Every structure is written in structure tokens, then in C-alpha cells.
Amino acid sequence: MSDDTPRTGAADGLDEPLDVSPARFLHGIYALFHNKAFGLVLILVTGVLSFIGVLLPQKPASIAGDPERQAAWLEKVATTVGGWTPILNALGFFSMFSSVVFLTVMGLLAASIIACTTHRIPILWKAARHPHTRVKTRFFDVARLRTRFVTDRPVEETRDLIVEDARRHGMRVIPDGQGAYMDRHAWLPFGTALAHVAFVVIMAGFVVSSVAGFRDEQFTLTIGHPREVGHGTGYVVEATGFRDTYYDNGAPKDYVADLVLREGGETVAQQEVRVNEPLSHGGLMFHQAYFGVAAVMTVTDASGEVVLDGGVPLEWSTQDKTLTYGNVPLTGGKVLYVIGSASGQVATGIAPGQVKVELYDGEATTPVATSLLDMGTPTAVGEFTLTFVREQQFTGMILRRDPGTPIVWAGFALLVVGTCMTMFFRHQRLWLRVSEAGEGTLVQMASPDRQDSGFTRFVTDLVERVSTQLAATNERKSTDD
């Protein structure tokens, strides 16, 4: 053929039309998601994000929806994180486990696990329902587990006896000419699929908890002063009493708060709450965590309207441990700090029956007004009138709602079942070949599966049983003759 001969097709395929159909595109996406390397990358990214979430401080649930308190919290975090604070906050790293980045990666990982599972299920189904029954002759010489023996009995009789014994001991048998395929636990490899589904369920539980749940580790209640639970629950909780006992060395022995939970003015739950005995109702859990002293304050604005009538828990201490303090937001963006002497401290400038107050304007670090209040004496501080009513105990609770917990436990149950199915009850396969040989009937059994001492004993017992039965049959035949 000359070089001038016209060509009618693309020799290299580069000029072929490109298939960009939706089906092919979706198939490519599916292939990407069930790719093991892609799944491994997602697992590593999830691990890195989780590690960052553990290392970095996370925003407490109590400041959610409050820009002023969030700004104050970020300012405090900036003292340790530094100039990275705005960037990390914009990326959502201070609320990592409910951030868009983390939830997106979790969603991709869940999709990858689902794709891997659906890709493997047809393979498992085929192995369970339509196993490969025929093997080459050489297989019986190279398989990991193999055995052979010779008998004088005919081929069909020998095969039938072995098949009958295998069925009697729980094996599925699929005859194939002069041999057979035998197995046990054919459906248990689906345990891997069950374990994969379990991971998705567990991740779903964590996502539900991150999105629909909350956790407040500093939910304080001044004794005798009700407080709204918030978070859209509609509940009001009150600590009606508190008792604490101590060991001889002064260490706390037990502390218990009497909690009453109300909804619409009606009591819906009531309990003595200890450290390991939380009050639980409607998905909410109140755990006793700590306690201390609060300053009960009344605050009115310039118009005489009461803007605060309750306790301010003095739950923090200064670095030298001489003072305790707490804060509460007021109207107009003001923040009130109440300061008292720590237990046993006298040279603080704050006498018994007094508290010091400082009024700040938003995030400012310098107070706009300060004063020393005597108990029961109204005092003008800035644009407010403050009255220190009395000291009162407060109890600190860990308040949480974790709707994903039942989902996570269900996932763990599936994981345990799937793992046990896979690890302790393996799919055990055995091929049988019975053929004529010069010295009699040759029986060959072999399995390519990983060495399993239990299955090896099972095959050994099977060979011993059928050998004994064949020998006994042969003896009876000889006697009859």
C-alpha cells in the first residue's frame, strides 16, 4: 500500500468522539469513591482535622448566637493562638466538629465507604450464591491446605460417602461430576459490609450530635434562682438546694444539687444530681461538675427597669488565687464584672459583706466605672444602679444534649457483629476430587484459604471419619465374599 492511499479511520483513536454522557460521568465518580487510595486520603484528612480540633480550644455552646461573648472569647484565645486567630476562626477551626470543612470531609468519607461497600457486595453475593465449583487438576497439588488418600472402594460410592458426611457436619455441598465444592459460613463474609455500614452509622451519629446537639461545660445555677436552659428547648431549670460534705483533710467528699426542671410553669423532672447521677429528661442531661459562691445582684438602668436580678457566680480565680470573679452581660453592650475575696484571703481590700464591681464597655480592657459595694446598699455605677443583695452558693453543671448517642451505639453494635462475623467465623471452602488411579480410587481435598487451625482440624477429622468408614465398608465386603 502506498503512502497516498487515503485513510478512513483514526489510527491512534485521538480523533474518536469523547464520551461525556451523564452515565459515564457518574460511573467515573463512583469509581473514584470506591478507590482505596481515595478512601485512605479521606481517612487521613479526617484524622488531621480531628487532631486540630482536639489541639485548638473549641467555642463553648453557651456563647453560640452571642456575637459579643464570641468576640470576648476570641480575644482571650488570641493570647495563646496569636495572629492566626482570625484565620482559624474564619475556617471554623474553633468549632471544628460542626464546621463546614469537617462535615464535608465526613460526608465524602461516608460516601466513599458506601461506594466501597456497594462495589464489594456483588462480589460477596456471587461467592455465596454462585461459587466457583471447578478447579484445575494442579490446584490439588499447590493449594495451601491439601490432603489425599487412596481407597479400594468405587469412585461414586466414595464420593457419596464423603458428601454425606460433609453435609451431616454442616457443610454446603455442590456436586460437580466426580468431585464437589463444599463450604461453611458462606454468608459470613458479608460481615465486612456490615462493618462498613457501621462506620457510616457511627459517623452519622456524630454528625447528628454536632448539628442538633450541644454541650455547655459551664452552666451555672445560683441556688434559688431559676434560669432558662436556652438552645430553643423552652425549659427552665432551678437549683432549689445544695449540700456538700468533706473528708477530714478538707477535700470534697460529696456534693449534691436539688434540681427542678420546668416547662411552661409545670414541673417535668426533679432529682438530686450528683457527679455520676445526672438528671435526664427530653434528651437533656445535667451533670454535677463543680460549685462555689455567687453574688446575688440587682441591677436597674437609668429608667429604673430591672436588667438583672439573680446570681453572678464567682467561678474564676485570679492568677495569685486571692480573688474570685464572674461576669454577666448587661444592656447596651456593657459587661459587669463582680469580684470577691477568695476563701481565706483577707488582705484584698474587699471586706466581708462587700464585693467590687467593674463595668466594661463591650470588649474594652479598661473599665468605664468601678465601685466597692456594701451588702444591701444601692450604688450608682455608670448608668446603672447596683445592689449587692447577699452571697449564695452556686452549682456548676455540664449541660448537654446528644441526640446522636443512640445512633452511635447502634453503629457500634453493628461493628461488633460485623467484626465477629469476619474474624471468628470465616468462609471455609473445600474442593473435593475423586478419581480412578492405578492403585484404586484417589481422593483429593484442597482449600486455597488462609491457614486456619480450626478448619485444618475439621478437614483432618473429615478425612479420618470417611477413611474409617471406607475401610469398614471394605472389610464387610471382604467378609461377605
In the chain, what is the straight-line distance between the N-terminal and C-terminal CA atoms, in Å? 82
Residue 449 pLDDT: 81
* Whether 155 and 281 share a structural domain: no
* Whether 281 and 382 share a structural domain: yes
Q: Is 415 within the bounds of a domain?
A: yes
- At a CB cut-off of 8 Å and minimum separation 6, what does 224 contact? 238, 239, 240, 392
Residue whose C-alpha is closest to residue 103's, from 50, 58, 146: 50
Q: Is 481 within the bounds of a domain?
A: no
Residue 1 pLDDT: 45
- Domain total of the chain: 4
Boundary (domain end) residue, out of 99, 123, 147: 123
In this structure, the dihedral spanned by the alpha carbons of residues 402, 406, 407 and 408, taken in order and rounded to 10 degrees, is 80
* Whether 370 and 255 share a structural domain: yes
Residue 165 pLDDT: 92
Mean pLDDT by 10 residues, the chain (481 residues): 51 56 83 90 93 88 70 82 87 87 90 91 88 89 90 88 92 88 90 91 88 86 92 91 86 88 93 91 91 94 92 89 91 91 85 92 86 94 94 93 91 92 85 87 89 85 88 63 52
Which residue pairs, CB below 8 angstroms and at least 24 apart, start in 24-32? Answer: 30/115, 30/119
* Whether 93 and 178 share a structural domain: no
* Whether 227 and 350 share a structural domain: yes
Q: Is 15 within the bounds of a domain?
A: no
Q: Is 7 within the bounds of a domain?
A: no
Q: Is 10 within the bounds of a domain?
A: no
Q: Is 163 within the bounds of a domain?
A: yes
* Whether 261 and 345 share a structural domain: yes
Boundary (domain end) residue, out of 349, 366, 401: 401
* Whether 332 and 372 share a structural domain: yes
Query: Is the torsion defined by CA of 203, 207, 213, 219 positive or negative?
Result: positive
Q: Is 314 within the bounds of a domain?
A: yes
* Whether 47 and 138 share a structural domain: no
| Residue 147 · residue 141 · CB < 8 Å | no
- pTM over 0.75? The answer is no
* Whether 271 and 397 share a structural domain: yes
Q: Is 234 within the bounds of a domain?
A: yes
Residue 2 pLDDT: 47
Nearest-5° Cα angle at 30, 24 to 34: 145
Residue 369 pLDDT: 93
* Whether 388 and 429 share a structural domain: no
* Whether 85 and 166 share a structural domain: no
Residue whose C-alpha is closest to residue 471's, from 167, 166, 158, 169: 158
CA atoms within 13 A on the CB side of 354: 13
Phi and psi, residue 132, nearest 5°: -80, 110
Q: Tell me how crowded residue 465 is: count the other CB atoms within 10 A of its CB.
A: 16
- Report the amino acid identity of residue 148: R
In this structure, the dihedral spanned by the alpha carbons of residues 95, 98, 103 and 104, taken in order and rounded to 10 degrees, is -60
Indicate the helix (H) or strand (E) that contains 228: strand 227-228
Cite the beta strand spans of 247-283 per DSSP E. 252-263, 266-273, 279-281
CA 435 – CA 137 distance, rounded (Å) = 11
Boundary (domain end) residue, out of 94, 123, 152: 123
Q: Domain of 39?
A: 26-123
CA 335 – CA 314 distance, rounded (Å) = 15
* Whether 264 and 355 share a structural domain: yes
